[in-house]
Structure 1
């Protein structure tokens, strides 16, 4: 008999049972879009609805998702509202560029993120994780904001691997700067919902312009430093992401403005998704003793074997499953937005047709998709067992989208997965993370799924553990 307690059900908004008024929609979208969705979004395969007179198709059917994001992706561009939010921050970075600009940026960046190349970063990821773990030495039982800490750790990994440690900034307040940027610039303004032109001021974002300017200065200083080194050292300059982008600049390649936009995208947002997912994982594991026990046994065994960190992802199925389940419940990117370029039509295997008019907004929301009652058993519960190798076949490829899908799938997915497993392996081998009376996170959508109120956990050394070599 299985004597384990019921699985942990982490905090999340309860689905609405009454449709919100227009005023409620504006307030909720500005405060926290995750609180907007009603019961139909978690129980129906698709819904055609309307927001402020604009038709919107909310999609949770894996077959229809595949059609929209893969089979006929050419008919669906970035949604207007999404671009109104993101383009002021990232301009023509990889997340927001479209058409030819996106294609040439993707081509320029792709070589650094091939699985073979990404695996080459494992040693640096291990070293940065070990270095960051020293923060917890001697603070036995102290409480830390793990949300901030994982942002700092992910930034250290990104800086070392993609920029060879040459981002021109001190990371002392970097987590706070990212929070400020996303809090002020990464939310939907009422003017966005009304589809006001981008030149109309967004009052809610005025406070974020100073932080955005700071990030832009960091990028320009970083570019200038590397260009000087490339001119001086030639082939002796690091052959990393930064050099790759700068070498891609020129009449036939990227403009210097596009290089700047892509560097900002990776500095400001490229590490943010991994950082949030790591923090949510440690929180969920702290509330799931049997999961933590399985992870600790697995991590200790793999590290004791002396396995190369490049192999940890394959040799730690429980650790990987714990991370993937945290991304299911708290998807780093909680919504995928598209807009139909021309009329379209999709027919389900049962013969039911979905008419998709030109101009309709498409919402594929990992937040609701990952909690959908038609697709998941106990959808609100934290159950990493779903992602163990023997159970993965039950999960449809398009019912779980932590990194998106189709041509615009996250280019750094392999990088992020490897980074996360190495970080969890180092941290959980040496320390245990526990709940405190102050641990009261609430998921809020600010580009990523962030823990409002911080994520306070108590950190205690594991007496039986030794530092991995």
Structure 2
């Protein structure tokens, strides 16, 4: 019995011990930005560095993170390099819009993501996961779990927010999302050099076809719902899609802004949850002791058949494994801001840091979640960090899977509820085991993805 097992340490890039050359920086960022960061990034509260002749402040200290993302967020705009990568995909969607456009979009969407409304999705999430699970029930075997979790979370999104009325003819969703992120979501050397947007990015040009496919999905979905509102108003669901279409007016959202926000949710909104679910199942497969604790918790809760609305509260260990997976493999590994005006920040200790105008402020969950000043045994999979009795030890600004401040992920509660429901149903019925050769390498393509997927053996639990 592994009563006191050695914690599993999953694959991750080793910190650099020597600073890279400029050419090596460009090559590494194009290949996998997670491999760029040096030893100092994992053990210092903040680092000031030159990155391609630009001043960059890497922030790992909760006090400074709170200042930049919350207390003085008005002085920090989206960093230009981030916008150069994301804007071609999402345009004026919620993740990339700023100023009044962002405020209008956030206000329009807020009613859907209240706790009461999200609780109303719980039974749908259970229903869709049960239906999705039939593929494993009817045909146990080896599946790419990374691919499957993308498909599952999209199906949940389509049911809960779009009443199953996303027009997806001709779309292989999980495959197309992967291609979109691998092409349009990749860093280009011209982005690093902050070249004008009109200069073509070669790698991104390959992704235009799949991006246009997604845009057509959105336009067709919008047009179909408009027709339904016009011709059969009593049959129209009052869902996320209807809410946005009803916000189309001079003082609300434009048609283009609605399209951009739907692209954001259909193309990327579910992606973070999908990746975290895949990593969670992999980590549990490599940590049988932790998996056993979770399986026992799920079995004990489900035998009383409570409403899925309550599962998030009733299954703290299940929630903890998901949160620990997001710590080790944060779905959004970097948060990029740029200082509008110079300032000097003073820590409680009295130390100060000067932030010049135009400085890129990098809050990187990837290094923050593994910083040795903040976490004990930071590279190990230890879900008990997030058990209720231990949560108070974690500062609010040392763990940022959903960001922080005004731009915190609007779907955070939705994602947590969805994840616990999906994990509870999958782990209660199936056993997910790593194939012998599986040692997934984390790669940053907007989200943290397993290179070459997560092929895993799925079998019925006995």
The two structures have a TM-score, normalised by structure 1, of: 0.97
Deviation of 1:170 (Å): 4.4
Aligned twin of 2:14: 14
Deviation of 1:235 (Å): 4.7
* 5+ long unaligned stretches in structure 1: 464-469
Alignment of 1:33-432 (within 5 A): 33-140=33-140, 142-170=141-169, 173-432=172-431
Tell me how far apart the structure 1 counterparts of residues 359 and 170 of structure 2 sit (CA, whole Å): 42
Deviation of 1:85 (Å): 0.2
Deviation of 1:2 (Å): 8.3
Q: Matched residue of 1:345: which SS?
A: strand
Q: Which moved more, 1:46-55 or 1:431-440?
A: 431-440
- Is the Cα contact below 8 Å between 2:5 and 2:289 reproduced in 1? no
- Is the Cα contact below 8 Å between 2:2 and 2:289 reproduced in 1? no
- Is the Cα contact below 8 Å between 2:320 and 2:387 reproduced in 1? yes
- Is the Cα contact below 8 Å between 1:75 and 1:342 reproduced in 2? yes
Deviation of 1:440 (Å): 2.4
Tell me how far apart the structure 2 counterparts of residues 46 and 167 of structure 1 sit (CA, whole Å): 44
Q: Which moved more, 1:398-407 or 1:449-458?
A: 449-458
Tell me how far apart the structure 2 counterparts of residues 169 and 400 of structure 1 sit (CA, whole Å): 36
Tell me how far apart the structure 2 counterparts of residues 454 and 95 of structure 1 sit (CA, whole Å): 26
Aligned twin of 2:30: 30
Tell me how far apart the structure 1 counterparts of residues 380 and 417 of structure 2 sit (CA, whole Å): 25
- Which whole-Å deviations, capped at 9, do the CAs of 1:338-361 have from their partners, x for residues lacking one? 000001111111100011111000
* 5+ long unaligned stretches in structure 2: none
Change in CA separation of 1:211 and 1:415 when aligned onto 2, cut-off 3 Å: same
Deviation of 1:110 (Å): 0.6
Tell me how far apart the structure 2 counterparts of residues 428 and 170 of structure 1 sit (CA, whole Å): 31
- Is the Cα contact below 8 Å between 2:3 and 2:289 reproduced in 1? no
Q: Matched residue of 1:187: which SS?
A: coil
Deviation of 1:243 (Å): 0.4
Change in CA separation of 1:221 and 1:239 when aligned onto 2, cut-off 3 Å: same
Tell me how far apart the structure 1 counterparts of residues 53 and 68 of structure 2 sit (CA, whole Å): 22
The two structures have a TM-score, normalised by structure 2, of: 0.99
Tell me how far apart the structure 1 counterparts of residues 170 and 308 of structure 2 sit (CA, whole Å): 25
Tell me how far apart the structure 2 counterparts of residues 50 and 204 of structure 1 sit (CA, whole Å): 26
Tell me how far apart the structure 2 counterparts of residues 307 and 139 of structure 1 sit (CA, whole Å): 29
